[in-house]
Amino acid sequence: MKLIFLGPPGAGKGTVAQKLVDDLAIVHISTGDLLREAVKKGTELGKKAKPHMDAGDLAPDNLVIGLLKERIARPDCKNGFILDGFPRTTPQAEALEAAQVKIDRVINFNIADEVIIRRLSGRRVSRKTGKIYNVNPEGIPQPPSDMPKDELFQRDDDKPEAIRNRLMVYRKQTEPLIACYTKKKLLMNVDGNRDLGPIADEVKKALGRKVT
Ligand code: AMP
């Protein structure tokens, strides 16, 4: 089972993917996570990608395509995967086709800009564990009450200016892929303006899996 999760940043793609991978026995591949790991390790690729990421722009196609191809060639991908945040441009989608990666379904998360801005601006990351929390009153998951305040930080690309840019980049460079996958009859739309649990169930059902 090879799935693509398409949708703007903050649509909940990563959280829904996490809820599905165990049931489907496939792996969750987030190019954003792979790039952040490369930045943290200080690799050449990470150094090249960092300024683009901090500004909320896309990293260059050749870097991301190379990184993704290497990842999906690993043995843990043999049952399948969810691509979260890839492809994000037409050349990336073409690279998948050229590599003869057969995608079963593309799940498209539709979500209003206001919901995204609210979700992303409340997002915080634990310096210790890398886990993501949301400090908005309705945010999920909330940080534990005994967590020291300075353990959490806000990613540069979750700051308001970068969020606005990421949304613009999404509309311009990634949204055209919706038409491309609709034409290929692979697209399934989900309403991302809701809680993420019901979305995961809806996707499971559409894939013919039991919802418990
Ligand atoms: P994400 O966590 O998926 O929002 O990704 C964080 C950042 O990593 C994005 O804003 C981009 O700068 C970069 N990135 C992630 N995936 C891609 C991709 N497929 N193509 C280009 N840049 C990407």
In a domain, 154, yes or no: no
Domain that holds residue 43: 2-111+173-206
Integer CA distances (angstroms), 95 to 82, 137, 142, in order? 17, 41, 38
| pLDDT tens digits for range 136-192 | 998 888 999 999 989 999 988 898 888 999 999 999 999 999 999 999 999 999 998
Between the CA of 107 and the centroid of ligand 1 the distance, in Å, is 18
Positions of the chain with pLDDT lower than 50, given as ranges: none
Query: pLDDT value at position 58?
Result: 96
Ligand 1 midpoint to CA 122 (Å):
19
165: in domain: no
Report yes or no on 10 lying in a domain.
Answer: yes
Cα distances from 104 to residues 98, 181, 185, 188, in angstroms, run: 16, 11, 10, 11
Inside any domain, residue 57: yes
Q: Which residues line ligand 1 (CB under 6 A)?
A: 9, 30-32, 35, 52-53, 56-59, 64, 85-86, 88, 92, 157, 166
Look at the chain and report how many structural domains it folds into.
Answer: 1
CATH of the domain at 32: 3.40.50.300
Q: Is residue 184 part of a domain?
A: yes
**SS3 category, 124:** strand
**Rounded to the nearest whole angstrom, what is the distance from the C-alpha of residue 27 to the centroid of ligand 1?**
18
Q: Whose CA is nearest to atom 4 of ligand 1?
A: 9
> Any bridge partners for residue 164, and if so which?
none
The catalytic residues are 13, 88, 123, 155, 166
pLDDT in the model for residue 210: 81
Structure tokens at 117: 């801005």
